[in-house]
Structure 1
Amino acid sequence: MKSLRLGVWFSKPFIFFTLLMVIKICLARFVIFDSASLWLQIATGIPSVWVLFCLIEWIAPRRKLGVYIAVNLLITTIFFAVIMYYKYFGVIVTYHALQQVNQVTEVKGSVFSLLHPYFLFIYTDIVVFLLLYMNRKYRSWGKSIAVRESNVLISALFVVSLAVSVTSVWVHRDSLNELKQAENMGILNYEAYAIISSRSEVLEDPSNITTEAIATLKEMESPEVPLYWGEAQGKNVIILQLEATQNFVLDRKIDGQEITPVLNQLIKEHFYFPNFYQQVGQGNTSDAEFVVNTSFYIPQHGAAAQDYGDLALPSMPKVLEEHGYQTATFHTNNVQFWNRKELYKALGFQHYYDAEFFGNDDMVFFGSSDEVLYDKTADELLKLSQTGKPFYAQLISMSSHHPFNIPERKVRFQLPERYEDTLVGDYIQAQNYTDYSIGLFIDKLKKNGLWDNSVLIIYGDHLGLPIYSLSEHEKGLMKEIYGREYQFTEMMNIPLIVAAPGITEQKRLPQTGGQIDIFPTVANLLGISLQDHIHFGQDILNNTSNLLPQRYYLPSGSFINDKGIFVPGLNYKDGVRYPYDGAIPNETDTTEEEYNRALELLKLSDSYVSHLPKHD
């Protein structure tokens, strides 16, 4: 009788839903951890599921099927969100991303473009269950057989499952690599760990954060007389932040067609840094605005505009204002998007121009086109110049936003057949339109007399073609473009162009740089000293060696140096090196000392920003 009762109990929802969870764990593993042990994923994933199922058996001892379906829906949605997020960002989404839920409606086109139909099969069982649950005769399936033996078994299983889950978290909690943490803890355990973890970074005393301490960690050696010091003194500064522009589109032809003829001409005549890299995080475009204007690193988890938007941030707009500059920022989207209204207060921009200024003319994605952005901005810059004071203006382009399916009326690049109906092909057409619009802007600056009295800085805000989102055919196209496998070193690479009319040297500079270096580089050209201003970048016109800590798009502990990109495993020793130009990895390309210095730089930046007062 005892064995019969236990046999009946095991035929109930507990075992059935466990089998469903095994299938969904395997699906997540296939998409995210394709090289990880399947048995490890099951061994760490199922105990966390059983903890929840045991609670159902205790809390809902009678008609429990509805509760099982609800918990199944919750877990399935977590897996679905993790898969979707990974397919673009290459990271495991946590509760921190809930801060960005209100941004989804603005970028719904990008979200839906990532939604492969087969991902929705993860919800198939839930749809079936809901249909069956409407039929009364199926509800009895969830009715418990209240026997002492099953309660004892449930209690024992709960204790063992909880112990296994806690142990898997405890053993791997010290790894900095979030992907490795999730792989070894199990996704649900990792999500719980992200919520309940009390581990917080030990912050540094602000008095210990000095420009000298930062220079020592970065091993910077600034010359007594820097090259190009003050050669653009008193000139206007115009910064163009290009949406999703990666470096490979520059100086590149597809079947004889130039992708970016305007930018190609600029890099022949001015400073061009081909080894330049993004340093953004969860805030993407708004993070790039933050990094470029502060020369600080992004926050550990959230978007800078939301985490730091209420602070009085030392910044490029404030420094230039102290030197007589007017400051303004231009973006065709609503200023509330990504909390930019507060970010612009924090950065100290005197004026901002958003959708209210640009209107709804010639809409592309969620704002007026780049042509409208540049045309109306050029007119406004002319007005600013007529005050007799120089200006600093930052322009945020948007027409080349993911998923890059620009309107047919904007398409100017004829794709070869093999590129048609691919993300890579759409991206190339969008970047070609971006380039065309920049050409119109430069022409107007030359006509209204601003060009010769301005420094123009152009860079990409973040990557556009994540490795994780590409099909095998699209990866093949990228291999055709590069002549090698498309890796992190290619994906994170964005362009930087410094066009300073009047400086006669034209150079393609090979040194490594990042977005954090733009502020000090501009300061050098303007002849403005940052000796007593805390910043974490360096003037890359005068420094040929660099160390760029990374967060978010690469796991914590990753960094970029002069040889390539390093990504840690569980720690430094089992990390992976990605050399530039597809070279063979060499252990001498990175050192553990560099790894520790990169982490210390992040700590100092976090510490400094955390002690800043709030803005008015």
Structure 2
Amino acid sequence: MKHIGSKIRGFFDSRLGFFFLAIALFWAKTYWAYQNKFNLGVKGSMQDLLLALNPIPTTLLLFGIALYMRGRKSYIVMLIIDALTSIWLFANVLYYREFSDFLTFALIKGSGAVSNNLSKGIFGIMRPSDWFVFLDLAILIILLATHLIHMDLRPIKKRFALGVSLLAVLLFGANLSMAYSDRSGLLTRTFDNNYIVKYLGLNAYTVVDGVKTARTSATKANAKASDIDSVLNYLKKNKVAPNVEYSGVAKGKNVFIIHLESFQQFLIDFKWDGQEVTPNLNKLYHESDTLSFDNFFNQVGQGKTADAEMMLENSLFGLPEGSAMVSDGTSNTFQAAPAIMDQNGYTTAAAHGDVPSFWNRDNTYKSWGYDYFFTKNYFQSGKNFDVGYGLKDKIFMKDAAEYVEQLPQPFYAKLITVTNHYPYTLDKQNQTITKTDTGDDTVDGYVQTAKYLDQSIGEFMTWLKQSGLDKNSMVVFYGDHYGISGNHKKAVAKLLGKKSFDDFDNAQFQRVPFMIHMDGLKGGVNHTYGGEIDVLPTLLNLLGIKADNYVQFGSDLLSSQHSQTVAFRNGDFVTPQYTKVGSTYYDTTTGKVIKHLSSEQKATIDKATNQVTTELNLSDRVMNEDLLRFYTPNGFMKVDKSDYSYNKKKALAKLKKAQKKGTSVLAKNKGVAIPYVTDAPELVKAGSSSSSSSLSSSSSSK
């Protein structure tokens, strides 16, 4: 027995023994993470086998680099490679927990645009077991430091090191071949990163993503004018006639786009602790002059809010990796809502209570043609005025209103709220409802921030009425993306009073509010299935603006020809009949899995799948190749970014000059600001009146 123990110890005292120990430990922790930290949707023995095998080839290849080194350097390099790959795994564990996706180079490149207060979110989702991904590294360091394993300084033959590298390549080839036998077109037809990690592993996914990122850069440089033809032909062939009854009913009206951060449809009419969480939005939702959609879905990818804005104002999908606003917002050509509205006689403005660089908005909005962009430095500041990702909603809406009343009418104004943002924290003085009791910290604070957002909407709508804007404005409310991810299944099930919460439920959970409120509008709750990609065509028809020649992948939600196939960014979809999640199909009405498709069902699902895949591909081509630079619709002028500046001094001077037109609310009220009432406790403590503080007249001195 001693002899066997001695031999084992002797093996691990060799560099080859240490190498295989490092490989074994790294494989074990990676496989553990796959099983416990991600939801990869593994089904069947082949996928189980691939999940177990896929960490080995890339780990052999990476750790094998150390075998080319001599002496102590070989051990140090092995530990460094282990540390770097463990950090990458750890980062993906945290990111996946909230976003059900993996990190990409495009996302990392744009991380500076969303880094404000990001640390709060990270520490909020971190769990003690996450640190197990560093356990193998700690074991190796301890073994070396305590001399339980000794460093073997003898050189290893280069041909052996080369043999390990070759073995890694052969194993990866076998892995790829097995993966393709289970899922053909894995690397060419997959919109979901879960598939690549499930079949090839996290490290291989990283390489695939890097290649795709580099290819996208080259693609844009090599694109030519004729590349837009396939997009135009598809859109022409699938053109949807807008609803004639609603065409132009909002012609000449002001347009408000109210961005409800992380706000999900289930909150409408939802009660907790004996009270409505969102009474103001509930009232608007059910009013006779509000068009409300109860089957409206968010369709965002990794870009989340940025993707929602891209779809809302361009009818183009966000990218499969990262944020298009970050990667392409500065350089690409767009046919966006602000430019369209501007060229139809509208003043356009956006307001956001954070820094202008967030999601690269300061550059993207110039590309989209926004006349004004009011950000953090335009608004008042004070102790506890901010939470999470910017100015608290009540303070923001009040201050934004004082710029809105200076805009020449008609105007198009987007107001982006932020308080109802993960991690859903709110100071005690603003809490007016108790937390829910699911036991999940991410979920339980959600009703508190949602109620606060709703109160800010109530105050803003009161101001609209007092200003008279309610009579000549169309107010659009939309939820940008989910607030609670599918990784909180137990808590969501308890919150909704369900016994369980599966992948089908999560697909249906992607509903967000979409409401169009206007005095005299023929409203009601509309059950049509649609998503954020459909907003722009719907609004343009209501405004009487023809959109026949624009490159838009959505269609008028009110049209009888509207396709009710709602595409998700990963290639899944929802229709009134069927729901696709990965490779599983459900009956949308019952939620039951369809195990054996009839020929009729298969034909319908194949048609929907083809539509989703085609439109995502074509939209990606438009974005990745910047194809709109080659095509200008009749009557539309390309945006010249140099025409726009969001410098505060220049903007205020421009607004002051604009008052001479006499069409703004402020001008019509002879320069007297319309009082805005808010109960925001921060303003009372700061000594500010709860009514208007004449921000518009004093802001130039800030």
Same fold (TM over 0.5): yes
| 1:533 matches 2:550 | yes
Post-superposition Cα deviations, 1:213-234, rounded to whole Å, max 9, x if no partner, equal 32534x73545xx122111111
Query: Residue 313 of structure 1 aligns with which residue?
Result: 334
Query: Residue 29 of structure 2 aligns with which residue?
Result: 24
Change (3 A) 1:482 1:222: farther
Query: Residue 203 of structure 2 aligns with which residue?
Result: 188
Query: Residue 529 of structure 2 aligns with which residue?
Result: 512
Give yes or no for contact 2:298–2:511 (8 Å, CA) kept in 1.
yes
Change (3 A) 1:352 1:464: same
Change (3 A) 1:140 1:254: closer
| 1:329 matches 2:350 | yes
Once the two structures are superposed, the pairs formed by residues 514-593 of structure 1 within 5 Å of their partners are 514-543=531-560, 544-551=562-569, 555=570, 557-568=571-582, 575-580=583-588, 582-586=590-594, 587=597, 588=601, 590-593=604-607
Match for residue 302 of structure 1 among 322, 332, 344 = 322
Query: Residue 88 of structure 1 aligns with which residue?
Result: 98
| 1:144 matches 2:149 | no
Report deviation, 1:600.
1.6
Give yes or no for contact 2:11–2:17 (8 Å, CA) kept in 1.
no
State the alpha-carbon separation in 2 of the partners of residues 436 and 7 from structure 1. Answer: 65
Once the two structures are superposed, the pairs formed by residues 454-493 of structure 1 within 5 Å of their partners are 454-468=473-487, 470=488, 472=490, 474-480=491-497, 485=502, 487-493=505-511
Decide which moves more: 31-40 or 456-465: 31-40
State the alpha-carbon separation in 1 of the partners of residues 155 and 364 from structure 2. Answer: 58
Once the two structures are superposed, the pairs formed by residues 495-506 of structure 1 within 5 Å of their partners are 495-503=513-521, 505-506=522-523
State the alpha-carbon separation in 2 of the partners of residues 15 and 391 from structure 1. Answer: 67
Give yes or no for contact 2:300–2:481 (8 Å, CA) kept in 1.
yes
The residue identity in structure 2 corresponding to 1:157 is V
Give yes or no for contact 1:82–1:93 (8 Å, CA) kept in 2.
yes
Query: Residue 397 of structure 2 aligns with which residue?
Result: 374
Aligned length: 589
Give yes or no for contact 1:485–1:582 (8 Å, CA) kept in 2.
no
Give yes or no for contact 2:104–2:321 (8 Å, CA) kept in 1.
no
Give yes or no for contact 1:63–1:140 (8 Å, CA) kept in 2.
no
Post-superposition Cα deviations, 1:537-563, rounded to whole Å, max 9, x if no partner, equal 111122453233322xxx3x3233333
Query: Residue 261 of structure 1 aligns with which residue?
Result: 279
Query: Residue 54 of structure 1 aligns with which residue?
Result: 64
Change (3 A) 1:351 1:604: same
State the alpha-carbon separation in 2 of the partners of residues 561 and 314 from structure 1. Answer: 28
Give yes or no for contact 2:298–2:481 (8 Å, CA) kept in 1.
yes
State the alpha-carbon separation in 1 of the partners of residues 156 and 358 from structure 2. Answer: 56
Give yes or no for contact 1:214–1:601 (8 Å, CA) kept in 2.
no
Give yes or no for contact 2:292–2:515 (8 Å, CA) kept in 1.
yes
Query: Residue 256 of structure 2 aligns with which residue?
Result: 238
Report deviation, 1:453.
0.9
Give yes or no for contact 2:42–2:198 (8 Å, CA) kept in 1.
no
Change (3 A) 1:481 1:349: farther
* Secondary structure of the corresponding residue to residue 373 of structure 2: strand
* Secondary structure of the corresponding residue to residue 141 of structure 1: coil
State the alpha-carbon separation in 2 of the partners of residues 379 and 275 from structure 1. Answer: 34
Change (3 A) 1:126 1:214: same
Give yes or no for contact 2:431–2:452 (8 Å, CA) kept in 1.
yes
Change (3 A) 1:69 1:541: same
Report deviation, 1:565.
3.2
Structure 2: gaps spanning 5 or more residues: 1-6, 181-185, 630-639, 643-702
Post-superposition Cα deviations, 1:162-217, rounded to whole Å, max 9, x if no partner, equal 1111343464434514212211112222222222357768987213433x732534
State the alpha-carbon separation in 2 of the partners of residues 580 and 329 from structure 1. Answer: 37
State the alpha-carbon separation in 2 of the partners of residues 540 and 355 from structure 1. Answer: 35
The residue identity in structure 1 corresponding to 2:613 is L
Change (3 A) 1:462 1:579: farther
Once the two structures are superposed, the pairs formed by residues 108-119 of structure 1 within 5 Å of their partners are 108-119=119-130
Match for residue 594 of structure 1 among 608, 620, 626 = 608
State the alpha-carbon separation in 1 of the partners of residues 443 and 311 from structure 2. Answer: 27
Query: Residue 664 of structure 2 aligns with which residue?
Result: none
* Secondary structure of the corresponding residue to residue 584 of structure 1: coil
Change (3 A) 1:121 1:326: same
Decide which moves more: 341-350 or 160-169: 160-169
Decide which moves more: 67-76 or 604-613: 604-613
Give yes or no for contact 1:165–1:189 (8 Å, CA) kept in 2.
no
Report deviation, 1:10.
6.7
* Secondary structure of the corresponding residue to residue 68 of structure 2: helix
Change (3 A) 1:60 1:548: farther
The residue identity in structure 2 corresponding to 1:182 is V
The residue identity in structure 2 corresponding to 1:18 is I
Match for residue 87 of structure 2 among 69, 77, 85 = 77
| 1:285 matches 2:305 | yes
Report deviation, 1:96.
2.8
Query: Residue 571 of structure 1 aligns with which residue?
Result: none
The residue identity in structure 1 corresponding to 2:627 is H
State the alpha-carbon separation in 2 of the partners of residues 453 and 437 from structure 1. Answer: 21
Report deviation, 1:579.
4.3
* Secondary structure of the corresponding residue to residue 273 of structure 1: strand
Report deviation, 1:74.
1.1
State the alpha-carbon separation in 1 of the partners of residues 556 and 209 from structure 2. Answer: 37
Structure 1: gaps spanning 5 or more residues: 569-574
Report deviation, 1:396.
0.5
Match for residue 209 of structure 1 among 231, 235, 245 = 231
Match for residue 426 of structure 2 among 369, 388, 406 = 406
The residue identity in structure 2 corresponding to 1:525 is L
State the alpha-carbon separation in 1 of the partners of residues 156 and 351 from structure 2. Answer: 69
State the alpha-carbon separation in 1 of the partners of residues 472 and 481 from structure 2. Answer: 29
Change (3 A) 1:366 1:300: closer
| 1:425 matches 2:444 | yes
State the alpha-carbon separation in 1 of the partners of residues 572 and 314 from structure 2. Answer: 21
Decide which moves more: 199-208 or 228-237: 199-208
Q: CA RMSD in A?
A: 2.8
| 1:13 matches 2:18 | yes
State the alpha-carbon separation in 1 of the partners of residues 16 and 547 from structure 2. Answer: 71
State the alpha-carbon separation in 2 of the partners of residues 191 and 287 from structure 1. Answer: 22
Report deviation, 1:375.
0.9
State the alpha-carbon separation in 1 of the partners of residues 418 and 116 from structure 2. Answer: 16
State the alpha-carbon separation in 2 of the partners of residues 15 and 546 from structure 1. Answer: 54
Give yes or no for contact 2:15–2:152 (8 Å, CA) kept in 1.
no
Report deviation, 1:87.
1.1
Decide which moves more: 82-91 or 474-483: 474-483
Report deviation, 1:489.
2.4
State the alpha-carbon separation in 2 of the partners of residues 598 and 107 from structure 1. Answer: 33
Query: Residue 632 of structure 2 aligns with which residue?
Result: none
The residue identity in structure 1 corresponding to 2:87 is T
Change (3 A) 1:420 1:194: closer
State the alpha-carbon separation in 1 of the partners of residues 41 and 533 from structure 2. Answer: 34
State the alpha-carbon separation in 2 of the partners of residues 436 and 488 from structure 1. Answer: 28
State the alpha-carbon separation in 2 of the partners of residues 312 and 407 from structure 1. Answer: 42
* Secondary structure of the corresponding residue to residue 328 of structure 1: strand
The residue identity in structure 2 corresponding to 1:21 is F
Decide which moves more: 435-444 or 6-15: 6-15
Decide which moves more: 507-516 or 588-597: 588-597
TM-score (normalised: structure 2): 0.78
Report deviation, 1:380.
1.8
The residue identity in structure 2 corresponding to 1:146 is P
Post-superposition Cα deviations, 1:369-413, rounded to whole Å, max 9, x if no partner, equal 1001211122222222xx4x3100001000001010111111111
TM-score (normalised: structure 1): 0.88
State the alpha-carbon separation in 2 of the partners of residues 216 and 114 from structure 1. Answer: 46
* Secondary structure of the corresponding residue to residue 580 of structure 2: strand
Report deviation, 1:250.
0.3
| 1:163 matches 2:170 | yes
The residue identity in structure 1 corresponding to 2:367 is A
